[in-house]
Amino acid sequence: MNSDLFVIPFNLGLYFILIYSVVRSVAWFRSLSRPDKLRLQRGFFGRPFMDSLREIFMESLLHRKIFRKNPVLGYMHMSLAFGWFLLIVFGTIEADFFGEKHLNPPSHAIFFRWFNPEHGAEGLARIYNVWMDFLLAFILSGLLLAVIKRFTPRMMGMKKTTRHTWTDRLALTSLWLIFPSRLLAESFTCGAHGSGSFLTGNLGSALASFLPAAEIAPWFWWLYSISLGTFFFMLPISRYFHIPVELFLIFMRNSGITTGDRHSSYTEVQTHACSSCGVCISVCQMSYAAGINDIQSAYFIKGLRNDRDISAITANCLMCGRCEEVCPVGIELGPMRLIERRQGERADRTLSLPERYSVMRKRSVTEKVPTQSYGYLVREEPEKAEVLFFAGCMTHLTPSVIAAMKRIMESAGVKYRFMDEKGGVCCGRPLMLAGRDREARELINHNSDIIWKSGAKILVTSCPICYKVFRESYYLEATVMHHSEFINLLIEEGSLRLGYLHRKVVYHDPCELGRGSGIYEEPRAVISYVAELLEASQERSMSLCCGGSLGNLTLASGKKAMIAADAARILTMSSPDELITACPLCKKTFVQATKTKVSDIAELVAAALPAPSKRVARRRSARATVRANDAG
Amino acid sequence: MKTVPKHVLVAGGGVAGMEAAGALAEMGYRVTLVEKGDDPGGHLLQWHALFPDRRPADEVRSYLRKRAGHHNINIITRTTVEKVRHHPGGVRVILSGGTEEEADAVIVATGFDLFDAHRKEEYGYGIYDNVITSVDLEAMFNRGRLEKADGTVPSRIGLIHCVGSRDEKVNNNHCSKVCCVTAVKQAIEIRQMLPSCEVFCFYMDMRMYGPYYEELYRESQEVHNVNFIRGKVSEASVNINNRLVIKVEDTLAGRPLKMELDIMVLMVGMEMAESGAKLAEASGFRQGINRFLESGDHHYGNNLSGIKGVFYAGTCTAPMNITDTISHARAAVAETVRYLKA
Amino acid sequence: MMSATGANKFGFAINRSRMIDYDSSDRKVREYITSREPSFRLCFACGGCTATCTAGQHTSFNLRRMNTYIRRGEIEPLREEVTRCMLCGKCLLVCPRGVNTRNVVAVAAEAIRKLERNEL
Amino acid sequence: MKPEGKKRIWAEYQKEIPDDHFFYVRSCIRQTFFAGSEQYFLKILREDLGKDVYEDPRHTTCTGIGYHGDVVPFETIQTVVARHFALATEAGYRHIAISCVTSFGIYSEILETWKHFPETLERTREDLYKATGRTFEVPETISHTSDIIYKFREEIARKAKYNLVDAATGKPLKVVEHIGCHYSKMFPKYGVGGAEFPHVLVGMVESWGGDIIDYPERRHCCGFGFRQYLVQANRGYSLFASRKKFESMEPYRPDMIIANCPGCTMFMDRWQYTIKEIDGITYGAEGHGIPVLTYEEVAGLVLGYDPWELGLQYHNVQSLPLLRKMGIKADPERRFLDRDGSRLPEPANLIDG
C-alpha cells in the first residue's frame, strides 16, 4: 500500500534515536574512571539495578517529587510521561494480541489504527479500545496543562519558566503535535470506518459527518509520523534528551557514582539529564529577591550543554544550595558549578575551532602556574592545647562573637588556645568557592600544620565557612566542631550553667552549616535550652541565604542587600525579639537588613550565663577537659 | 501714625546684597543697593548651572532679580562704597566719585574676587592655549560648545583643584570650600556633553561638606566614570602636538605621574574682594589672617562688624556657597532690624 | 637597559624613571576590570580593605594601592600583588563604597593571565 | 601658545641691570671648560660695546661647589663672598657681574639673607674683618653676565655679521634655551622674566633671529645637581635627568642648545657622549648630537668671531653642521691648530654635532 509510506519518518527517527542512545551510552561508559566503571558493572548485577528501576518508575514516570511539590505540575509531567509509557506498552500489546502477526515492528503498534481501521467493534477489543482512548485523553489533559504552563507559568504555581533555544522550540512543537495529530488521525480513520471508542469514535463520527474523513485521515497519519520522527531527531540536541538520559543517570547514581571535583561522563550525564523544569528558578533568591533571572542552575546547565561561554553565570551564584535541594532529577548543582569555576575561563567562542584548540593548549601550560601563591607565610610553632579555637577571618569583624565564645569557654572551664587571636590565615574555603583549589591547598596545609602541632583533640570554629572546609578538606586528628555543636556538648555534659532568657527568637540556618554540613539540630537544641525558639516559614534544608555569601563573586552589594532584606523579612514575620544565626557573615549581612536585633548563637548563650564566678569555673575546668578528650 | 521708613544702604549687589536688600525692602525699609558693576548679580552672572543638583543658574538669578526689583530699593550701579563711618545720627557713607549718603544702617556685602589664575605662573594660564579657568568653562557651557582653542573636540580634560586656595605661595592659606564640588559638577557636565572625553580631577582633599555633595561625588565615579587623582599639579607645559603635559605626584601610588591633556581647567578659588579690602581699610574694619572681614564673633556674632550700624553679609566674611550666602544675608537683615528697632 | 661597556667604563648606569607616564601606560587591564566589575570605579582610596586584610597581615599586599596601580595602567607591580590575596572576603564587609573588592582581585588576576597570553 | 601671555609675565619680572662699570667675578667651571667664553665676554663688553669691566686677580672661587656639597658652612661662604664685595668696594665698583649661575644663586641667597636677617650681615662684616682686616659695602646690583648680554642684545644684533638663521633658506634656527636652576628658581625676581618663563636667553635668541622651542621638559634640571654628580654612584640620576630633557626636546629637531649656566653647558654637552656610549643614542639630526653653546659663544658667533678662537672645538658635541647652516666659514682642519700653526691637544671622545 502506497500510503503506508508515512511510517518512514517515524521509523527513521526511532532507529536513529535507538542507535544514538546505544552509541552515546557506550561512549559515556568508556570515558568513566576505572572505579566508576567497576561501580557501574557491579551495580548492574546487584541491588542498584532494582533500586534504579523503582526510582525510574517513581520519578521518571510518576514524577513523585514534583507531585509532592506541586500537584498540578506533577500531574502534567505524570500524564505525559506515564501516559505515554502506558500508551506504548498497551499499544504494543494491542498490536501483538489483536494484530495479524504476534511480533510486529514498532510502527505497527504506533499506527495500529491505520493498519486495523475496523478493529475494536466488539468484545474484548471494544473494552481495550476504551482503555486506549482513555490513555490518549489522559496524555492530552497533561498536554493542555503544558500549553497553559508555557504561556502563563504563574497559573501552574511557577514563578519563572525556562527560556528555549530554537532546537528546544522545534522539539517542543513536534512533541505537542504528536498527540493531537494521533487523536485526529485515529478519529478520521475511525470516522471513515465507523470504529473507535468514546474519544476517537465520537470525534471521528462527528468529523466524518461534514468532512471527507477517508481522504483527510492519511494527512494526519503523516503529521503524526513526522511529529514523532522530528521529535526523535531533535531529541539529542534539545532539552528533551533528558528523558532517556535521566534513566542512565539514575542507574549511575544508584551504583554509587558521585560528581567529584572534575568533569567526567557523570557530569555530562547530569548535564543532559536536566529537564529544564525550572523548579530551581522558582526557589532561587537571586531571582525573586534580586531580580536576576539569567544565572539559575537551569541556565547554567543549559549553557554547559550547549557549550556556551557561561563564566559570568558560573560566578554569579550564592552557592546556597537551595536549588540542589529541590532538583527533581537530583543533579549535584553545587559541585557542578564549582567544577566549572575551577575550569577557569573557557576559550573564546568567537574563535575558530583550531584557534580554540591552540588557545587551550597554550593555557594548559600557563595554568599550571598557580595564580595565587602564599610563599610568604611563615611556619608557626603553636603551643599545645586540648581545644583549639579558630574564630575565622569574618568573625574578627564581629568581635562580640569572639568575646561571647571566650566567656562561654571560660565559664565552662575549657582549656583552649585561640589559634587566630592575632589574625590567622584564611581557611581556604573562599578560594575553593572561587574555583582555586590548588591555591586553597596551600592555606589548608599551613593551617593543618598548626592544628596538628597543637595536638588539639577538638577544633572549634565560629564560622560555618571554615567549618565546612575543616571537615571536608582538611585531614585532621581533631574533631571539628562548629561552636553551636561545641556549646551543645558543653550543655549536655553539664559544664555550662545557663539561665533562661525570656526571649522569643527565630533561628536562621546558615547555608554552609545547614545544607552545607547537615547541622540543624544542635543549634536548635542550644537555643531551646536558653530561649523560646519560634519556627520560621523557611528553615532547615530550605533555609534562606542571607545574601552575603562568599559563594558569589560578582553580585553587586545592592543586590546582596535586596536578598538580605527579603530573607530578613521572611525570618522575622513572627516578630521575634531576636534573629539568631550561627555565622559571622550572616550576622553582618542581616544587621544591615533588619531592625530586629541580630545575634550569633554564642552571644545568646553568653547572655544566659550567670555573672562570672571564678571558683566555680575553675572547678569545672577539669571535667570539661576530660569530656573534650572523650569527644576527640 | 506714619513714620518715615528708615534707610539701609547695602554695599555690593551680589547674591548676599540682593537677598539682604530684598528682605529689608519687603519689611518696609528704604534700601539703597550699591553695585560696582553694570548690573547686580555678582559672580552668579557667569554661572551656567549650580551644584549639587545642576539646576540652571538662571533660576536663582531670576529669584534674586525679583527680590532686588522691589519698589523700596534704589539701585546705584557702577559705584563703589569707599568708606563708612558711624556717627550719632546714623552712618555716613562715602561713595566713589565723592558723593555721600546718609543711612540708618549699612550692610557690607562686597563679596569675593576670583583668584587671578595668572598668578599661578607654572600653570601657564594666558600662555598655553588650552589652559582655562572654571569660569571660562562655565562660559563654554553657556555657549553649549566645549572645544579646544583650535576648535577641535577634546579627548581628555583635567580639572585642577585648589588653584589659589590652600597655597601659601599665593598668600592664600584658606580653603575656598566650593571648588571641589564645582569641579565634580563640571566634570559630570563635561562627561555628559562629551561622553568620549576622559575627565580627571586632581585634588588634594575632596571636601564634600554640603548636603548631597558626597552623593554627587559618588555619582561622578559610579555613573559618569570621572577619574580622581590625589595630588597637586606642579607644572604644565605643551608638547610638539600642542597638547598640555602636566606633572603631578599620584600621592596614592606614591609615584610622580605625567599626563597629556587637551584642556586643563583651573578651579580658581575665592579671595577677599579688592574693593571690600579698600573699604575695610578706610573704615577700620578688622580683617582676618585670610584677609576676609573678621566678624564680632565666629559663632554667634557672625554678621557683626564691631561698628555700630554696620553689618556683614555673605562672602566678604569667608568663602561660602549660595545657600549659605543667602542664609547669612538673612541673618544680617535680622541683626540690622534688631539694631534699627532698638 | 645598559651595555656592559657603559657600566664598566663609567662605574654607573642611567637610572630608570619612577614616573607613571599615563599616556604610554597599559589601560587594557583597567578596562577589563571595570567592564566586569563596575563597582571598581567607586573606590575612593580610604584603605579600609588594606587595614582589615588577612593576607596583609603576612605580606605587603595592599588592595588600595593595587586599585590605584590598575587605574594608572601600571601593570608590573600588579603581577605579583594579585597572587597574594587569599580571597577571604573580609574587605568586602569593610568597604564603605560597596566595591566588590574580592571580585576586583579575582578579575585582576584573570586580566593578568589573559595579558600574559596576549588575549586581552 | 599666546605670546602676549609670556610678555605679560616678562613685564612683571624686570630687574635692574646697570649700564656700565662692572666688577667681574669668574666661574670655576666656565674658565676651565669654556675659557673662550669668559675671554670673549670681556672682549665683547670692552671692545664691541665699550664698557668698563674690572677684574681683580685676587678674587677666588665662591666655594659654591663645596657649599652645595655640604663641606662649606653658610657662614664661611658668606665671608668669602663678602671678601669679593670688599675687593669691589676697594676698586670703587658697586655692580657685580657674575659669570657662574651657582655663584649668582649664592650671591642672591646671601643678599636676601642679609636683607631679612640684618644680624647675619653684621656677623659677616665681623668675620671678614677678623679674617682679612677688610671692610665692604653691599653692592648696588648683582647681575649674571647673561643679564648683561641680554641688556645689550639689540646692540649686538645691530653689529651682527651672522644671524641665527639658516643661511641657505633664511629660516630661523630652532634653539633650545636652558636656564640654570639657581638663576631664578630660588628667587624669581632676581631673574629676567622670572622662574617659570625666563626671558634672558629667549630675548637674545629672538633678537639674533632664532626661534625658541618651548618643549615639555624645558624647566627640568640639566642633571648637574652637585650631590648627584660629586658621588660617582649617584651619577645615574644626573644622567637620567639629562636624558629626560633630550628625549623631550628631540621631536622638535633643535639646531642647538644655548645655556646660561656653565655647569649646565658642560653636563648637557658631556652627557650626550656618555649616553651615546651607554645606550648608543644621540638626539640630533642624522645620528649627530645637539651642540650646546654658552650665550657668550653664541654672541661671539653672531658678532663674527672665529669659532675656534671661541673654543667651540673643545665641546664634546662638535658644531660644524651648525656653523655651516649659519653660513660661517670655519675650516675643520684648523680646529686644533694654534695661532702659530702648532698643534693643540686634541680631546678624545668627540661626537659629531
Q: What ipTM was predicted for this assembly?
A: 0.83
- Per-residue pLDDT band for A168 (boundaries 50, 70, 90) equals confident
CATH architecture, domain defined by D153-334: 3-Layer(aba) Sandwich (3.40)
Q: Is C69 on the interface with B (CB under 8 A)?
A: yes
Q: Pick the residue from chain B with its C-alpha nearest to C74.
A: B253
- How confident is the model over A274-302, as a mean pLDDT? 92
Task: Name the nearest CA neighbour of A307 among A348, A258, A364.
Answer: A348
- How confident is the model over D158-180, as a mean pLDDT? 97
Q: Pick the residue from chain B with its C-alpha nearest to D1.
A: B128
Q: Please indicate whether, in this complex, the C-beta atoms of A588 and C113 are within 8 angstroms of each other.
A: no
- How confident is the model over C59-67, as a mean pLDDT? 93
Q: Please indicate whether, in this complex, the C-beta atoms of B256 and C19 are within 8 angstroms of each other.
A: yes
Contacts of A374 in chain C (CB under 8 A): 55, 58, 84, 86
pLDDT digits (tens, 9 = 90+) for A486-532: 999 999 999 999 999 999 999 999 999 999 999 999 999 999 999 99
The interaxial angle of helices A71-98 and A123-151, nearest 10 deg, is 150
List C-alpha distances in Å: A116 to A98, A107, A121, D11.
9, 13, 11, 116
- How confident is the model over A34-58, as a mean pLDDT? 89
List C-alpha distances in Å: A479 to A35, A384, B68.
29, 16, 82
Task: Name the nearest CA neighbour of D196 among B127, B152, A268, A358.
Answer: B127
- Going from the N-terminus, what domains does chain C have, and what CATH number goes with each? 24-116 (1.10.1060.10)
Task: Name the nearest CA neighbour of D249 among D219, D270, D271.
Answer: D219
CA distance C31 to C26: 10
pLDDT digits (tens, 9 = 90+) for A370-393: 566 888 998 888 899 999 999 999
More reliable by pLDDT, A164 or B100: B100
At residue A356, the pLDDT reads 64
At residue A1, the pLDDT reads 41
Q: Please indicate whether, in this complex, the C-beta atoms of C14 and D233 are within 8 angstroms of each other.
A: no
Task: Name the nearest CA neighbour of D27 among D245, D241, D205, D264.
Answer: D264
Judge whether residue A331 has pLDDT over 80.
yes
Q: Please indicate whether, in this complex, the C-beta atoms of C52 and A397 are within 8 angstroms of each other.
A: yes
**Percentage of chain B with pLDDT > 90?**
97
- Per-residue pLDDT band for A2 (boundaries 50, 70, 90) equals very low
At residue A169, the pLDDT reads 87
- State the DSSP string of A11-66: HHHHHHHHHHHHHHHHHHHHTS-HHHHHHHHHHHTSHHHHHHHHHIIIIIIS-HHH
Contacts of D2 in chain B (CB under 8 A): 126-129
At residue A632, the pLDDT reads 41
Judge whether residue D234 has pLDDT over 90.
no
Contacts of C94 in chain A (CB under 8 A): 397
- Per-residue pLDDT band for D253 (boundaries 50, 70, 90) equals very high
Neighbours of chain C (3+ CB pairs under 8 A): A, B, D
pLDDT digits (tens, 9 = 90+) for A27-41: 988 888 889 999 988
- How confident is the model over B310-331, as a mean pLDDT? 98
- Per-residue pLDDT band for A309 (boundaries 50, 70, 90) equals confident
Q: Grid coordinates in use for C111? A: 586580566
Judge whether residue B157 has pLDDT over 50.
yes
Q: Grid coordinates in use for A76? A: 502534567
Q: Decide if D234 contacts D227 (C-beta within 8 A).
A: yes
**Percentage of chain C with pLDDT > 90?**
61
Q: Decide if A609 contacts A411 (C-beta within 8 A).
A: yes
Average pLDDT, chain D: 94
Q: Please indicate whether, in this complex, the C-beta atoms of B222 and C74 are within 8 angstroms of each other.
A: no
- Which three-class secondary structure state does DSSP give residue A553? coil
State pTM to two decimals: 0.86
Q: How far apart are the first and last CA of chain C?
A: 27
Task: Name the nearest CA neighbour of A610 among A498, A489, A501, A487.
Answer: A498
CATH fold group of domain D15-145: Glutathione S-transferase Yfyf (Class Pi); Chain A, domain 2 (1.20.1050)
**Percentage of chain D with pLDDT > 70?**
100
Q: How far apart are the first and last CA of chain D?
A: 30
Q: Please indicate whether, in this complex, the C-beta atoms of D9 and B128 are within 8 angstroms of each other.
A: no
At residue C3, the pLDDT reads 43
Which residues are CB-neighbours of D80 under 8 A, at least 6 positions away? D60, D61, D62, D63
At residue A31, the pLDDT reads 87
Judge whether residue D192 has pLDDT over 80.
yes
Contacts of C42 in chain B (CB under 8 A): 218, 221-222
Q: Which of B222, B225, B257 is the closest to C20 by Cβ?
A: B257
pLDDT digits (tens, 9 = 90+) for B235-293: 999 999 999 999 999 999 999 999 999 999 999 999 999 999 999 999 999 999 999 99
- How confident is the model over B14-41, as a mean pLDDT? 97
- How confident is the model over D11-25, as a mean pLDDT? 95
- Per-residue pLDDT band for C5 (boundaries 50, 70, 90) equals very low
- Per-residue pLDDT band for A102 (boundaries 50, 70, 90) equals confident
Q: Please indicate whether, in this complex, the C-beta atoms of B253 and C69 are within 8 angstroms of each other.
A: yes
- Going from the N-terminus, what domains does chain B have, and what CATH number goes with each? 7-111+273-341 (3.50.50.60), 117-269 (3.50.50.60)
Those of residues 234-253 in D touching chain C at CB distance below 8 A are: 234-237, 239-240, 243-244
CA distance A370 to C86: 13
At residue B211, the pLDDT reads 96
Q: Is A550 on the interface with C (CB under 8 A)?
A: yes
CA distance C118 to A69: 50
CA distance D316 to chain C (A): 16
Judge whether residue C4 has pLDDT over 70.
no
Q: Decide if A461 contacts A510 (C-beta within 8 A).
A: no
Judge whether residue D28 has pLDDT over 80.
yes
What residue spans define the domains of chain D? 15-145, 153-334
